[in-house]
Structure 1
């Protein structure tokens, strides 16, 4: 199935997924930065930085949905004494009804910003608060940002040519991937709970 790809965002998230998947030991799933699922109707990437913030990007044939949750945002409903359903209604207003079921009620509550792209960008501004839109930096808009984040987050140097190929193509051959991560430190040395964010 061909998915709508908003400015090649899917390729960039796939590059991060391939790198993180290669460097995360299967026995230490809790260290994983990004997960990917596909069910034929949609392709879903979910970034969880371990510091209480998350980014979900769903690609469908017709549109791309982007949901972020920044725990320090003023729009964090968990930080309020009483849930404000009206805020969620405003955040998701205008989204075609057939796509609402992509997020459970709990997932919707974990929203501080939401947008979708169907050829045009749609976002409902709430009280002049971007709600954590900085999370979009995980879909790196330049190779240099991807490279610098990878080196800092995984605390190792990579072959720049292979890392660039991964970023530009969204994948590597098994041999190239092995060469890229050869000598990688154990995933257990990662500190996913630290406040590590890509630069914006």
Structure 2
């Protein structure tokens, strides 16, 4: 599998932004898919399809923070039979307060996943895909952005 070039993530987000700017009538800014802002902590891209799915990507010199909402996902509190605020709160536990404070209480509630660490990524992958994985291989994928074909085949553990 080809390695993800993390340096190109910004370039790809900018490419999406350029297309969105070009294809969206200025009088209809409210339907823009991508919004980019330059903040004191770094760059922020908000991608929102207007149908209940969003992705917030924050690029700093120290980390990449990714927060997403998939309102139909079984992991979303909006799809749960009963709201559990502890799940939402757990996403933000341990996250530097300067990043937590970027989100209002409503925006925090609109979280299906948030990861800034391997542990959060591991939890998302195993819950979202309902799979058991080789933790060492998943850690390698998280750190390096790629696995060999053999490693990919070994990643998912049969129950």
Same-fold call, TM cutoff 0.5 = yes
Q: Which residue of 2 aligns with 1:57?
A: 57
For residues 47 and 127 of structure 1, what CA distance do their matches in structure 2 show?
21
For residues 68 and 7 of structure 1, what CA distance do their matches in structure 2 show?
21
Aligned to 1:30, the other structure's residue is in SS state: helix
Q: How many residues align?
A: 125
For residues 119 and 25 of structure 2, what CA distance do their matches in structure 1 show?
38
Runs of 4+ residues over 4 Å off in structure 1: none
Q: Which residue of 2 aligns with 1:130?
A: 128
The structure with more strand, counted as a fraction of residues: 2
The root-mean-square deviation of aligned C-alpha atoms, in Å, is 2.6
Contact 1:47 1:55 survives alignment (8 Å): yes
Note the residue ranges of structure 2 that are not aligned, 5 or more in a row: 130-144, 146-159
After superposition, where does 1:165-176 map in structure 2 within 5 Å? none
For residues 130 and 33 of structure 1, what CA distance do their matches in structure 2 show?
24
Aligned to 1:89, the other structure's residue is in SS state: helix
For residues 14 and 7 of structure 1, what CA distance do their matches in structure 2 show?
12
For residues 63 and 76 of structure 2, what CA distance do their matches in structure 1 show?
26
TM-superposed deviation, 1:51: 2.3
Aligned to 2:37, the other structure's residue is in SS state: strand
For residues 100 and 52 of structure 1, what CA distance do their matches in structure 2 show?
21
Higher RCO (CA 8 Å, separation ≥ 6 residues): 1
The one-character-per-residue Cα deviations of 1:57-102 (angstroms, maximum 9, x if unpaired) are 0112321110010011112222345431210122233323332112
TM-superposed deviation, 1:114: 0.9
Q: Which residue of 2 aligns with 1:86?
A: 86
Would you say 1:40 and 2:40 are equivalent positions?
A: yes
Aligned to 2:127, the other structure's residue is in SS state: coil
For residues 6 and 89 of structure 2, what CA distance do their matches in structure 1 show?
25
Task: Provide the TM-score with structure 2 as the length reference.
Answer: 0.67
For residues 98 and 20 of structure 2, what CA distance do their matches in structure 1 show?
32
TM-superposed deviation, 1:42: 2.9
Of stretches 9-18 and 72-81 in structure 1, the one that deviates more from structure 2 is 72-81
The one-character-per-residue Cα deviations of 1:16-41 (angstroms, maximum 9, x if unpaired) are 00111111111012331111112322
Note the residue ranges of structure 1 that are not aligned, 5 or more in a row: 132-140, 142-200
